[in-house]
Amino acid sequence: MPPLSVKAFAKINIGLLITGKRDDGYHTLETVFAPINWYDVLEFSDSDDISMSCSNASLPVDDSNLCIRAAKSLKTFSGSTKGVTMRLHKQVPFGAGLGGGSSDAATVLRILNGLWRIDASPAELHALAVSLGADVPYFLEMKALAFAKGIGDELEDLGFTLPYHIVTVFPEEHIATVWAYRNFYRRFDRQVPDLRMLLRELCFNGKEEFFPAFENDFEAAVFDHFPAVREVKTALLETGSVFASLSGSGSAVFGLFEQEADALEAVKCFSTKYRTCLTPKGFSMEQE
């Protein structure tokens, strides 16, 4: 067959509240995932073995790569004798808190499940996704806004999209998730707000006074250690965003804009220095 080309979209976190730590070392959290129009492109070609190449030479393409791990986990699960050659055109920054690697892995599971005619059930694919990473199931199962809890793998489709244009900026700092979890400032004893209810009030009733509830618990520590990231958030607010925040464990920062003209002006401002992405109002991964 000719190569099959598929987009693997990234995400941002609207609020990220770390609520505790389990006995197995994983942290529990509550967050809202939202897709953005920043994506990698994966090409799939028939092969006898499983292999891949990448446009970014600094990323490994061995068994430590999530795409390879996803393909091999699906092959082991199914007993398939088929292989695949994958070409990853890497465009989403890594170490950015945008879930690019997780999205790539989810795309591999979804596409190979069809190409190899495995027909694994949603529950079976979910289990494989969780074994690869806590936020892989979001990219596998959801198209738009989703509330997540547990370690990020317990998902609820919120059934609507954001009524804001999103400008996402990568400040050229690569922050390891392991570092972020070791250094964030714990607040396990606070009362956690209902992010689902508050986001509905924001999106349907325009109650922007609820924005302060959408904190990112990684933000304070990241800002203390990476001042350039703090500066991007400040600049986004100064350019007219109604809300700005770190995404995931960083270092990407996003701003929400009510007016497209303001969002376009922000992109113009930031793109001279940093990699920047504009996501239109009402975006979902159905655009794939």
List, by residue number, the catalytic residues: 11, 135
SS3 of residue 106 by DSSP: helix
CA proximity to 148, closest of 136, 131, 160? 136
Q: Which of 191, 125, 121, 199 has its CA nearest to residue 159?
A: 199
* Among 75, 139, 153, CA closest to 112: 75
User: Within 10 A of 124 (CB to CB), how many other CB atoms are there?
Assistant: 16
| Tokens describing residue 31 | 């967050």
- How crowded is the C-beta side of 139, counted as CA atoms within 13 Å? 32
User: Does residue 132 contact residue 73 with C-beta atoms inside 8 Å?
Assistant: yes
Residue 100: closest CA among 26, 12, 173: 12
Can the peptide bond before residue 251 be classed as cis, meaning omega within 30 degrees of 0?
yes
* Burial zone of 240 (CB within 10 Å; 0-12 exposed, 13-18 middle, 19+ buried): middle
Residue in the block written with tokens 């006995």: 23
Whether residue 113 contacts residue 151, with contact meaning beta carbons closer than 8 Å, is answered with: no
Whether the Cβ atoms of residue 256 and residue 241 lie closer than 8 Å to each other? yes
